[in-house]
Amino acid sequence: MSFRIKKVVVLGSGVMGSGIACHLANVGMEVLMLDILPRDLDPKKANLPQERNKIANAALQAAIKSKPAPLYSKSYVNRIKTGNFEDDFKAIADADWIIEVVIERLDIKQHIFAQVDEYRKAGSLVSSNTSSIPIHLLAEGRSADFKQHFCGTHFFNPPRYLRLLEIIPIAESDPKMIDFFMEFGDVQLGKQTVLCKDTPAFIANRIGVMSGCKLFALTEQYELSIEEVDALTGSLLGRPNTGTYRLQDLVGLDTGDKVTQFVVNNVSDDEFFEPMKGQETPAYFRFLLDNGFLGNKSGKGFYEKTKQKDEKGKTIINALNLKTLSYEPSVRPKIAVAKQAKGIELMDKRMQFLLEGDSKEQHFLRDYFLALFSYTAMRLPEIAEAYYKVDDAMRAGYVWDFGPFEYWDLLGFAKGCELIEAAQLPLPQWILDMRAAGIESFYKYADGKRMYYDFQAQQWTPVSGTESLIILDSIREKSPLIKNSECTVHDIGDGVMCVEFTSKSNAIGEGIGQAMSDAIDMAEAEGWNGIVIGNNAKQFTVGANLMNVGMLAMQKKYDDLNQMVDQFQQVNMKIRTSKIPVVVATQGYVFGGGCEISMHCDAGVYAAESYIGLVEVGVGLLPGGGGTKEFALRASDAYFEGDVQMPTLISHFKSIATAAVATSAVEAFDLNYLQKHRDQICYNTSRNIGMAKEKVLQLAPGYVPASAREDITVLGRSGMSVLYSAINEFRLGEYMSDYDVEIARKIAYVICGGDLTSTQKVSEQYLLDIEREGFMSLLGNQKTLDRIQYLLMNNKPLRN
Amino acid sequence: MEAYIIKGYRSAVGKAKKGGFKNYRSDDLAVSIIEALMADFPQVDPASIDDVIVGCANPEGEQGLQVARLIAARALGKEVPGVTINRYCASGLEAIGMAVGKIKAGFGHAYIAGGTESMSLLPMTGYKLSPSYQANLDNINYHVSMGHTAEAVAAKYGISRDAADEFSVQSHQKAAAAIDAGKFKEEIVPISVEEVFVSEGKRQSTTHTVAVDEGVRRDTSIPGLARLRPAFKLGGVVTAGNSSQTSDGAAFTLVVSEAFVKEHNLEPIARLAAVAVGGVDPLYMGIGPCVAIPKALKQAGLELSQIEQVELNEAFAVQALAVIQEAGLDPETVNPNGGAIALGHPLGCTGAKLSIQLLNEMKRRNQTYGMVTACVGGGQGIAGIFERL
């Protein structure tokens, strides 16, 4: 890389500006965020920085209080300094990157960039986060060096969580800088970078706005309620639960309308939007805008959260009736085809079912998808040279599980073409050419790579940017090393195996334990370099297979259970003590048993967006796969000569006893799930397996296996007593039920090594034995079984 | 032989962890107060002090190593011994009681008695919290944090959130009025605090003087307090706003025998007519004064109605209200200048500080009998009755 970025100036502190500032702080940047001087500058304090920086300060405070949290760790706010355009513009001379996020007005932005041009050091990078102004206009009149180092960098809100970063070069942009931003955005900022052209709304919003407008129109055409459309366009399609209308409420109707108007008024040669020019806004949308019902930020929009509660104590939500323009109590729609489709696990089969039936809802979805396919295909090569970029953008920016061409593949390429033609929608020549060339899908896997069809060169080509990623789907065609119903073990090259969980929600059962054990045996016997435990699913794992545990417990098959828990403990110990390095790669939920597995690995590569926790107490259990033992061990390792020990013991105990879940991998260090010397963070989730493999290869030469420990200091009764007092505080404060107290005391017992009368050193196996006893005794309690059953049936914990 | 209180001084009370004494050691503070006290009596040879009795609720860390001995040696000379005593929030009053008791028993003639506490520098429960395993098996509620005892008292004696918040606002208002009227000026020794720190990469030093109690919030209002969340219990009534503040401070008195008074030509201001302690269920710690007050009255041979002023330590508003209600105190006589909710509660110092405040206010009002009472951690109460001379 020819560029290095450490200091960044963010110009503008609105929702996007402060969100971007926070995310830059997340990845270790030194950030200076500037905004205008307050218009009502208090003359008495006019010289004080806190008064002059009031706008940026207030914005930053609002950002760090917002949810979901924009920072990986609250302490990172120290990485952001604030200032104002009057006093601090000179500071941009020190900046490596200056990103503009001010109000969407060309004249203001041009004025700002003129100043940037004046103060910046030559060679520093400058970009704009605009979503609706052509990038090249922003650089007009600027110096040659400025233009050479200028482009669009378009984040999506909220910047920490939405993975898309659109990079938009201008004609003068240095290609090396664009390459740099594509790489930096990916590796350092953890984003899916997509190279865009300077076309209106770039890629994601162009397609997103079309998708939204089409769904609005079809809602009216098919006379569906907004709840029905939301039910049809959410998780059923692999999209966020907010569906169509709740998403609008979340984004803000005014914001959504502005982007729509912008697209409508600025596109050309666009068969979908051109007819909308000059057309009147639908009555219901006018009604909402005119009344200021702009969505969540104004308390109501398409939906309204009332202050009333129903007989179950739930807040009553009203939904707008689009015809009568009145709010009516929202009802959960009962749609037969939706229910049926939900039962179809395989998405291709589900899509085929949804798009080929004759119900009103199926017609609705068919009309929508065919329009989406046709429109998106027609936009190429206008908005992108290659169609995978559109899919990348929609997945990362709109959190769709599939982009338009991937949905099309689910339906079938030929089938899609046929239906589009039957619906008399246009298809571009390149699609017709592809069909004529006998191409059967938009994507395929070959040689372990994901390939797309380059319709200009007329050949299959690897999707760029994925070379260094390990995508398990791409090696599925190779026969796996080990495979059972819950787990597949792959050869990911260079003598490294990857243990992939494949069960529902990646729940851990005996199959996973067996496969991990067999993989270790095979790796040791055959001289492999090591093992990565990782998968590409949204959630690394939700933890142990509760259904299985609950069933055995209800049937009182305690011997089987005891053996099962023992085996899981032994597999985790085998991970720890095996002769080869085992490295975990996680993302999303890393709960319960998954957390226990990861804590026993030699090292971990944790995606920053990993949500890690030992959550067993929620179902009336304690971590029984070595997790409680591991916390005793970690507390012991933290004690030092002369230490009073109790605060360390309490902080370790608390993570388990309160089922604390880290909201980022960074926070997991504070909760003792991660350890500084062992674990590292990976900003781009899709790179975690690749990085874990590198870690294996780094550890493999001269790897010395760990031995089972015999030297764990436990505090016995004196530790238990202090924990009993702490538990009692929770009970008195009514944060714990009587049964919570019982569970917490069991945890206290295990983590202190039992009711020993003195501090002493014990072995890992001793701790595993008392951990297993504690686990089994809780499983024998009806209240635990009630908790397990309740969670399985209601997907939320029971307090009993 | 009768024992007399000659004089008392205190420091202003600092807000723990953010106030003027946040980095200031409590032993240094104690030395300054005792030196100021002795300076008023040049005719008294410091070496003639028999003992320095220092109340301290967390005698470890900066106030560990039997801190009283070094305070005595530094303030009065190496010949003078010192003893650290601990009865939690009653320690300062207990120290005065011990001095009086020793004189009456004929064990000595002159004592410095009071207390010192830094809540800034020490964790609330000390460095190593380690309750007895057996005690926790027998009765888990023998070791509970003070906030939970306050919730238990509120529930048992029916004290509402509204009443607690209103009491707290009054405490702030009375304290603000007292400060504005300059009432505490004569008893506070201004302390000059040096701070050496690194700012913008450079070593800097400043000196500030702490001379006014820091805890009073003049803008405290009932709606403001009502917005605070319960600090200890879901749906509870005890909040940070209706609890005492954590504080730093020191207060000491000179207590001498009748013979010593004559020998040095001193002028007694009061005598301690009685001091009594009693125990209650540790879970209802806050109600402790209710057992101590009758004992003290009996010792002194007085009726409650004869007590003209009461300094009731406001550990928690709910606890103070429960004591007023259950002990039958006349609210008009209680805490005329506000209490710990506004002025702070530097644990081991508090008993001595309240005694000094009481005696000065009794003088202003020309009263004869006054009482200092406090609830004490672990389920105790203390009450001391002073007769002004």
Per-residue pLDDT band at B209 (split at 50, 70, 90): very high
Reduce the secondary structure of A317-338 to three states and give it as a string: EEEEECCCCEEEECCCCCCHHH
The overall average pLDDT reported for chain A is 95
- Chain B nearest-CA distance from A82, in A, is 16
pTM for the structure as a whole: 0.91
**Element (DSSP H or E) covering residue B83:** strand B82-85
Q: Look at residue B267 and tell me whether its pLDDT is greater than 90.
A: yes
Sheet holding A582-591, edge to edge: A482-484, A487-491, A496-501, A530-534, A582-591, A603-613, A679-682
Q: Is B192 on the interface with A (CB under 8 A)?
A: no
Reduced to 3 states (helix: H, G, I; strand: E, B; else coil), residue A502 is coil
Where do we find the tokens 């706003």? B241
pLDDT of amino acid B375 = 98
CATH 2.60.40.10 fits A7-195, yes or no: no
- Strands of the A443-446 sheet, one edge to the other: A443-446, A449-454, A459-462
Q: What is the model's pLDDT at position A478? A: 79
Smallest Cβ–Cβ distance between A724 and the set B136, B151, B232 belongs to B136
B56 catalytically annotated: no
> Which of A643, A728, A759 would best serve as a mutation to test chain B binding (most B beta carbons within 10 A)?
A728
| Domain limits, chain A | 7-195, 204-443, 478-706
Mean pLDDT of A365-371: 98
Q: Give the chain B residue whose CA is nearest to the CA of A717.
A: B133
Contact A722 B127 (CB under 8 A): no
Question: Is-contact B11 B245, C-beta < 8 A?
Answer: no
Interface with chain B: mutation pick from A81, A639, A648, A721, highest number of B CBs within 10 Å:
A721
Encode pLDDT of A20-50 as tens digits.
999 999 999 999 999 999 998 888 888 899 9
pLDDT in tens, A217-262: 999 999 999 999 999 999 999 999 999 999 999 989 998 898 899 9
**CB distance A578 to A533 below 8 Å:** no
φ/ψ bin of A82: left (φ > 0), alpha (ψ from -120 to 50), beta (otherwise): beta
Euclidean distance between CA atoms A723 and A164, whole angstroms? 46
Q: State the pairing for strand pair A97-100/A7-11.
A: parallel
What local confidence, expressed as pLDDT, does residue B353 receive? 98
The least confident of A166-175, A253-262, A506-515, B230-239 is: A253-262
- What's the pLDDT at B234? 94
Q: What pLDDT score does A309 carry?
A: 83
Q: By percentage, how much of chain B surpasses pLDDT 70?
A: 100
pLDDT band at A1 (very low <50, low <70, confident <90, very high): very low
Q: Tell me, which fold does domain A478-706 have in CATH?
A: 2-enoyl-CoA Hydratase; Chain A, domain 1 (3.90.226)
For B130, the closest of A646, A728, A735 (CB atoms) is: A646
- pLDDT digits 0-9 by tens, B99-126: 999 999 999 999 999 999 999 999 988 9
Contacts of A720 in chain B (CB under 8 A): 133
Beta strand A449-454 pairing with A459-462:
antiparallel
pLDDT digits (tens, 9 = 90+) for A562-585: 999 999 999 999 999 999 999 999
User: What integer is the mean pLDDT of A355-377?
Assistant: 96
Which residue is closest to A720 within chain B, CA to CA?
B133
Q: pLDDT per residue over A372-396, tens digit each?
A: 999 999 999 999 999 999 999 999 9
Q: Which parts of A390-476 are beta strand (E)?
A: 443-446, 449-454, 459-462
* Mean pLDDT, rounded, for B159-169: 98
Same fold? A204-443, A478-706 = no
Asked whether the beta carbons of B232 and B148 are under 8 A apart, the reply is yes
Nearest to B130 among A718, A734, A735 (CB): A718
Identify the CATH class of A204-443: mainly alpha
pLDDT value, residue A247:
92
Per annotation, catalytic residue among B89, B109, B290, B349: B89
Catalytic residue status for B345: yes
What mean pLDDT do residues B137-160 have? 96
> A467 pLDDT exceeds 90?
no
- Give the pLDDT confidence score for residue B384 in this predicted structure: 98
pLDDT at position B212 is 98
CB contact under 8 A, B129 and A724: no
Residue A469 pLDDT > 90: no
B229 touching A (Cβ < 8 Å): no
Pairing of the two strands A315-321 and A326-329: antiparallel
Write out chain B residues lying below 8 Å of A646, CB-based. Answer: 128-130
> How many angstroms separate the CA of residue B231 from the nearest CA in chain A?
9
Largest CA distance in chain A: 84
A458 torsion bin: left (phi>0), alpha (psi -120 to 50), beta (else):
left
Does A729 contact B141 at a Cβ distance shorter than 8 Å?
no
Which chain A positions have a beta carbon within 8 Å of B132's beta carbon?
721
Least confident of A16-20, A256-260, A494-498, B39-43: A256-260
The catalytic position among B56, B290, B349, B375 is B375
Average pLDDT over residues B304-309: 98
Q: Could you tell me if A755 and A599 are in contact, meaning their C-beta atoms sit under 8 angstroms apart?
A: no
Through-space distance between the first and last CA atoms of chain B, rounded to whole angstroms: 16
pLDDT band at A421 (very low <50, low <70, confident <90, very high): very high
Helix A627-638 vs helix A592-600: crossing angle, to nearest 10: 50
**B229 pLDDT more than 50:** yes
With an 8 Å Cβ cutoff, are B129 and A735 in contact? no
Point out the residue among B140, B143, B233 whose CB comes nearest to the CB of A733.
Answer: B233
The answer to whether the CB of A578 falls within 8 A of the CB of A705 is: yes
